[in-house]
Amino acid sequence: MKLVRELPITSIAGFAFGNAENEKAGTGCTTVVCEQGARAGVSVQGGSPGTRETDALQSENLIDQVHGVFLSGGSAFGLDAGSGVMHELEKREIGFDVGVTKVPIVPGAILFDLTVGDANVRPDQQMGKKAAQNALQGLPFLQGNAGAGMGASVGKLLGPSTAMKGGLGHYAIEVDGLKIGAVIAVNSFGDIVDPTTGERMAGVYDREEQRFIDSERVLVEHMNRNETNRFSENTTIGIITCNAMLSKPQANKLAAIAHDGFARTIKPSHMFVDGDTLFAMTTNEVKVDLNALSYLACYVVERAVLAAVKSADSAYNLLSYSDIKKGR
């Protein structure tokens, strides 16, 4: 798109982005902090979500701003990382002023990565605190095997032996004063496909025959085997950040529409065994057409999903897109 200019996601003013991870254990945490508070919404469209504080973001409820959002590995145990983010922000006097202290509002979501590394090591308060510190210190915000994407994998339909490496991706653009980006931790049940070229980038991969196996086709072939629980090690989660003027209901709707970015790149997506969740955060500065904004939100989510796979390295006996590409 000629009107659109790519930019580092860290250049979207008002937001700070940070990762923390344990490479040996194969897990991590990613957080986005907004010191002044951001209007936010959320959309949970997977069938197996693990979330924190998402009820507060519903349009009819009181809370109008959040001060951070976190993405974490560790399955439900990883929700503990949110408390670490919260305590770090309170220490810095970031949050909702209740007189006796400031209470940071920090929603978040988790993905399943327990079988990749050490299942006994999960993102905890200390890791969440570290991710918030790294964000506020402006440390490099890496992609691939970083943060919540450290232990991420994709294409688990036939088990871990044919799965591939997922990861963390981010992508941002600017157009006519609007800045919008997405941070996505890709840990999907489905395959990753580039919707522009049709290239299957990651998914179920037969190492012996060096070829991809179509997850959607195999899923239909297995339809009568009642094997749903065997696939429950997934979930793609992410955060959209922008400077568009939005009401709270509009932020919620934007998060819901942006799931189309998942549907375009993850085949299939939003399954019963996925916990697919998207947050939307805005500094609420630039008036834009909501339809154009919705399209661009889908676009940055789509590009961030692809960036996660492209930037991931082979690890934990999971092949990466780049290594398969080199071998072709």
Q: What is the pLDDT of residues 57-113, one digit of tens each?
A: 999 999 889 999 999 999 999 999 999 999 999 999 999 999 999 999 999 999 999
Three-state DSSP state, 141: coil
How large is the average pLDDT for residues 169-188? 97
C-alpha 34/C-alpha 65 separation (Å) is 10
Does pLDDT of 290 surpass 70?
Answer: yes
C-alpha 309/C-alpha 78 separation (Å) is 22
Rg (CA), the chain: 18
Residue 226, CA distances (Å) to 122, 159, 170, 221, 301 in order: 30, 15, 36, 11, 32
Contact status, residue 152 vs residue 168, Cβ threshold 8 Å: yes
* pLDDT the model gives residue 225: 62
Q: Percent of the chain, pLDDT > 70? A: 95
Dihedral-angle region of residue 162 (phi above 0 means left; psi in -120 to 50 means alpha; beta otherwise)? alpha
Q: Is 242 exposed, middle or buried (0-12, 13-18, 19+ CB in 10 A)?
A: buried
C-alpha 212/C-alpha 202 separation (Å) is 8
pTM of the full structure = 0.95
* pLDDT the model gives residue 224: 64
Q: What is the pLDDT of residues 8-31, one digit of tens each?
A: 999 999 999 999 999 999 999 999
How large is the average pLDDT for residues 30-44? 97
